[in-house]
Structure 1
Amino acid sequence: MINSLKATTKLGFLGAGQLARMSALEAFKLGIQVAVFSDRTENEPVQFMTPFSTSGSFDSVDDMVEFAKGCDVITLENEFISSEILQEVQDKSGTPIFPSPKSFSLIENKLIEKQTFENAGIPVTPYKLVRSGSDLKEFGNTHGWPYLLKSSKGGYDGYGNDTVRDLESAREGFEKLGGNKDRDILAEAFVPFTKEIAVQVARNEIGTVVYPCCETVQENHICVAVLSPAPIEEKYQKKAQELAVKAVEAIDGKGIYAFEFFLTEDGNILLNESAPRPHNSGHYTIEGCIASQFENHVRAVLGLPLGSTKMNAPAVAMINLLGTHNRPTEADNIQKGLEIENGHLHVYGKVQSKVGRKMAHYTLLGDDLEKIFHLAKESTKNIEI
């Protein structure tokens, strides 16, 4: 536990996108310096905010060791790295990494993640590692068509996923995702669900705090909106929170974690995926909760007391604003959203917009969830980025 913070305390992020940017803003409030390690060729959102910016490869231990030596603590913005490399970087630099390489190793790809939580007694969606056409056929015959194929490592926002409706499309999807090139491909059954819900949990040696259960609204495997608290019975909200805490404890996690669940038609809650970092489903917490997921990310990895997760309003709606053009970033028609009391626009600082890319989000607080969700959609429908 840290009782004081030096002006030279430096928190390092592996990854320099919008998640690191929003965490960095909270670190700055505590007088903490921020360093970022980017594996991208383009300038990323955090690199405009700090002089301590390094570029390199997530496959290069030497690159990251040199970076880590200049930091007091290292944390993650994404999962595009291996636990073995993280462990080597920590050992050679002497700088602690959170989530720890050991915790990360238990969820670093979708297959290991499923096995870890299943072994902890947490219900998960039916799955199988598929390696051949016969595996693809057998899974469909057992769990029904259509089903989902997922790359075990590196998928997000619909990338690395493919919905397959028959054996022919399953073979095509398997090849497209790299199954013929020795990439691990997971088959996952579609489950009859009524809602997709999520819970964020922050945990360190001092304690654990749990955020409200929220609903995530998905289109084409991309989250387009988040509603909090989730419009479901309280017993299901509490069950999802309990499972999220159980999942963090199963990996002895330190930091901020997000868990996505399916609420099935028969009232079961199945864990779908996890993230060892801030998550899009928790962006509403910036204005919606006393301490946001980003503030508790910083607090958790630095060993500080965790902030309250109580909501600041009875209802919060968040809209993801996706790129509408392939062009240098320019947010047009933003006036309506900014004019609304308790409406908050966050533009991520990505220099290049791409169609379907997460470029910004808009959060609206109020008393009635259905009304503010409608107003948030209306206020943002003409925004072009």
Structure 2
Amino acid sequence: MLGSPYNRTGNQPLTLGILGGGQLAKMLAQSAYQLGLQVAIIEHGASPAGAMTKLEFPGGWSSETDLDEFIKVSDIITLENEFINPEILERIAERRLCFPTSETIALIQDKLIQKQTFNSAGIPTTEFGAINSVEAAIEFGSVHGFPFVLKTRTLGYDGYGNATIRNANDIHAAWSKFTQTEEPRELMAEKFVNFTKELAVMVARNRRGETAVYPCVETIQENHICRVVIAPAQIDPALQHLAKEIALACVEAINGVGVFGVEMFLTADGKILVNEIAPRPHNSGHYTIEACHTSQYENAVRAVCNLPLGSPDMIAPAAVMVNLLGERSGDGIPDSVVDSLKFPTASLHLYGKSGSRKGRKMGHITALGKTADEALESAIGSARALIW
């Protein structure tokens, strides 16, 4: 049966509960309101998304009272990050529909289990292995070569929880960094990939198994943080198609419901290897707000509500997204907003964060163009006018 954005009793709008209150939750909320839904936000403290609704629970999910009230007012629940304790998700699932499900999140949170799941489904990934000791790390380097990447199996993002091991001498320092702490983490290793491009594909999937696969994009990283996204990726159409097929296979392998960002490497010999998957809207999909018939955020809302999915096709030949990162510590208000808006084909998104710090994601700019170069020039020009 098709879902409806309205309750059957009282003909009232459904309330979409969102675990998390950052920029992804804010853009999810905007799409939910567009579809006529109400929104509830739970986060530890005041948040950009929480400011958009009266149903804000700033005690976070660690507060028994706030979590209980949040569940009570929500009809369907989704999340903006994958780091929430599985026990919390299971508790929510006892009372409300929650997507992605706790079973899906369990396959993703531990990156070793994630890779094993994809391997079992025949999906190409980087070579990997569990690391339970310094000796195991040394053995991995001996078998697969140096450099390789040592990473925490959980809670890693934007380069946090990763260490590049260039030789055996690096292993002891990385081991100490990750394991000799108040909260030691289990580790895994991945063979270093000499890639030519980093790619990403967004996939939406609803409860009926209907899917919408977005164009393959190229992501340009700096210090493990995405700085620029080029849509579509400037690669052979056959490789674009292959990347989309692989991304869809990843989502189906974990029985995903919602929207998912699949990160991949393109190697020099034309292979595409999966790096990891995010069970939520993704930085590489921000461009879809202006560039596609249906944004990743709207399709995320549609998917968890079991509504028909919108078209993921682009409405312009090319689009470029540039992340706006904090350059200093201070308030969250940038200088020169007026100058940034002087680029007519660029769209500015400010996240409304209360404070800035170096490297913090404060907003993004998307520009459309007849070519990727044209869109890049506009997006970069608009971004350079802003000072944080």
Measure, in 1, the Cα distance between the counterparts of 2:247 and 2:64.
Answer: 32
Match of 2:361 among 332, 340, 358: 358
2:5 and 2:14 in contact (8 A); partners too = no
2:343 and 2:378 in contact (8 A); partners too = no
Measure, in 2, the Cα distance between the counterparts of 1:370 and 1:290.
Answer: 22
* Equivalent AA in structure 1 for residue 136 of structure 2: D
Measured after TM superposition, the shift of residue 12 of structure 1 is 0.3
Measure, in 1, the Cα distance between the counterparts of 2:161 and 2:114.
Answer: 16
Structure 1 counterpart of 2:133 = 132
Measured after TM superposition, the shift of residue 179 of structure 1 is 6.0
Pairing 1:117–2:111 present? no
SS of equivalent residue, structure 2 residue 73: coil
**CA-to-partner distance for each residue in 1:164-191, whole Å, 9 max, x for gaps?**
2222322212221236654111212211
Measure, in 1, the Cα distance between the counterparts of 2:129 and 2:229.
Answer: 29
Measure, in 2, the Cα distance between the counterparts of 1:253 and 1:179.
Answer: 35
Measure, in 2, the Cα distance between the counterparts of 1:126 and 1:179.
Answer: 26
Structure 2 counterpart of 1:263 = 266
Q: Which runs of no fewer than 5 residues in structure 2 stay unpaired?
A: none
* Equivalent AA in structure 1 for residue 169 of structure 2: E
Measure, in 2, the Cα distance between the counterparts of 1:244 and 1:28.
Answer: 28
Measure, in 1, the Cα distance between the counterparts of 2:167 and 2:227.
Answer: 28
Structure 1 counterpart of 2:59 = 56
SS of equivalent residue, structure 1 residue 106: helix
Structure 1 counterpart of 2:43 = 38
Measure, in 2, the Cα distance between the counterparts of 1:105 and 1:139.
Answer: 26
Number of equivalences: 381
**CA-to-partner distance for each residue in 1:93-114, whole Å, 9 max, x for gaps?**
x210000111222212211111
Structure 2 counterpart of 1:203 = 205
* Equivalent AA in structure 2 for residue 384 of structure 1: I
Match of 1:9 among 11, 14, 19: 14
Structure 1 counterpart of 2:98 = 97
Structure 1 counterpart of 2:231 = 228
SS of equivalent residue, structure 2 residue 96: coil
Percent of aligned pairs sharing the same letter:
47
2:340 and 2:386 in contact (8 A); partners too = no
Measure, in 1, the Cα distance between the counterparts of 2:64 and 2:107.
Answer: 20
Structure 2 counterpart of 1:159 = 160
Measure, in 1, the Cα distance between the counterparts of 2:315 and 2:339.
Answer: 23
Measure, in 2, the Cα distance between the counterparts of 1:65 and 1:239.
Answer: 44
Structure 2 counterpart of 1:320 = 323
2:339 and 2:386 in contact (8 A); partners too = no
Measure, in 2, the Cα distance between the counterparts of 1:330 and 1:375.
Answer: 22
Measure, in 2, the Cα distance between the counterparts of 1:58 and 1:283.
Answer: 27
2:23 and 2:351 in contact (8 A); partners too = yes
The structure-2 alpha-carbon separation of the partners of 1:106 and 1:61, relative to structure 1 and needing over 3 Å to count, comes to farther
| TM-score, normalised relative to structure 2 | 0.94
Structure 2 counterpart of 1:247 = 250
Match of 1:291 among 294, 303, 325: 294
| TM-score, normalised relative to structure 1 | 0.95
Measure, in 2, the Cα distance between the counterparts of 1:61 and 1:185.
Answer: 31
Measure, in 1, the Cα distance between the counterparts of 2:58 and 2:380.
Answer: 38
Measured after TM superposition, the shift of residue 329 of structure 1 is 1.0
The structure-2 alpha-carbon separation of the partners of 1:97 and 1:317, relative to structure 1 and needing over 3 Å to count, comes to same
RMSD (CA atoms): 1.7
Measure, in 2, the Cα distance between the counterparts of 1:84 and 1:266.
Answer: 43
* Equivalent AA in structure 2 for residue 113 of structure 1: Q
Measure, in 1, the Cα distance between the counterparts of 2:272 and 2:359.
Answer: 29
Measure, in 2, the Cα distance between the counterparts of 1:56 and 1:124.
Answer: 39
* Equivalent AA in structure 2 for residue 190 of structure 1: F
Measure, in 2, the Cα distance between the counterparts of 1:126 and 1:283.
Answer: 30
1:260 and 1:272 in contact (8 A); partners too = yes
Measured after TM superposition, the shift of residue 75 of structure 1 is 0.2
Structure 2 counterpart of 1:175 = 176
Measured after TM superposition, the shift of residue 371 of structure 1 is 2.8
Structure 1 counterpart of 2:189 = 187
Measure, in 2, the Cα distance between the counterparts of 1:193 and 1:61.
Answer: 46
Measure, in 2, the Cα distance between the counterparts of 1:30 and 1:144.
Answer: 51
Measure, in 2, the Cα distance between the counterparts of 1:217 and 1:233.
Answer: 18
Measure, in 2, the Cα distance between the counterparts of 1:61 and 1:249.
Answer: 34
Structure 2 counterpart of 1:76 = 79
Structure 1 counterpart of 2:349 = 346
SS of equivalent residue, structure 1 residue 158: coil
SS of equivalent residue, structure 1 residue 371: helix
The structure-2 alpha-carbon separation of the partners of 1:322 and 1:298, relative to structure 1 and needing over 3 Å to count, comes to same
Measure, in 1, the Cα distance between the counterparts of 2:180 and 2:129.
Answer: 13
